[in-house]
Amino acid sequence: MIERNLGSSGLTVSAIGLGCMGLSHGYGPPVTDEDGIALIRRAVDLGVTFFDTAQVYGPFTNETLVGRALAPVRDRVVIATKFGFAFEGGGRSGLNSRPEQIRATVEDSLRRLDLERIDLLYQHRVDPEVPIEDVAGTVRELITAGKVAHFGLSEAGVDVIKRAHAVQPVAALQSEYSLWWREPEREILPALLELGIGFVPFSPLGKGFLTGAITSSTSFADGDLRGRLPRFTEQARTANQGLVDLVAAVAQRRDATAAQVALAWVLAQHPTIVPIPGTTKLNRLEENTAAARVELTAQDLDDLTEASAGIDLEVDRYPEQMQRWINR
């Protein structure tokens, strides 16, 4: 597996990471611990060194799964997790990035992950009730104490990124980015490049849409968050099918799969971008990791970029309650 540097942070990871959320949360019933551990360890065998989890995935069960799976290879991998939500009654109950909440929940994450130090700690969503300077300062204290190595942000806007970075250098920003969602190119990505911050796109396959496995007639199972997303209505899927068809055409002429082409396009945008596709299937894991070896021509990239420019970025990615947690 090719390696990449996340900006100027000194954090080196595999060019493609593994988003572990879907093993426990968001796309239907969770996988068994046995299957989840097997998939994560197969990713290590394939050269993946960058694994992404969060307190809210489950909640909590995904961190435990990732910790168990990676315990035998702890010295070979980078583990990222996230704080920033409050939990009541066993579920997520809103945002909470107060310093005392950060310190307490990070201790819980260390225990669940069976770690002495978290490699990359993100604020999962910007909390408008807590100044970002207080958040960054708290993470700086945790870094000084040896409990965290690097600080990250997720779904943060440029102003928040710059203010946080002034207090504690931000190693990486995580946000959605793909041929199907290029909004970060407007302001976020230029700011990251200016500041030397790495970019970690989640959903680089458009939550599966770019693979061609989802059509206008697809029905989503109970518990699959895509059934509630505005960009996954039947009308939206029909309107954007042309992009999926082009991805498939490029894949055919490059002897690759649609997923590999979609990932290769993301990788080609800048050498400090590290996508973290997720999957519950071993064959899809192997397919995704092989995308690091797919080379697209300049014409391929131009064709894909031009086709994706027609996607309507004004359509919200999430229902209103979740959309308001995105800071732009």
pLDDT value at 315 more than 90: no
Per-domain boundaries in the chain: 3-208+266-295
pTM for the predicted model, two decimal places: 0.96
Residue 315 neighbours by CB distance under 10 Å: 15
Exposure class string for 277-297: b at 16+ Cβ within 10 A, else e? bbbbeeebbebbbbbbebebe
What's residue 63's pLDDT? 98
Q: Which of 78, 294, 72, 31 is nearest to 172 (CA)?
A: 78
Q: Quick check: 24 and 58 in contact, CB under 8 A?
A: yes
Which CATH number does 3-208+266-295 carry?
3.20.20.100
User: Which amino acids are annotated catalytic?
Assistant: 57
CA dihedral 123, 124, 129, 132 (to 10 degrees): 30
Question: How many other CB atoms are found less than 10 A from the CB of residue 326?
Answer: 18
Residue 91 has pLDDT above 80, yes or no: no
Instruction: Give 75: exposed, middle or buried? Use CB within 10 Å, 0-12, 13-18, 19+.
Output: exposed
pLDDT tens, position by position, 123-175: 999 999 999 999 999 999 999 999 999 999 999 999 999 999 999 999 999 99
Give the containing element (helix H, strand E) for 246.
Answer: helix 241-253
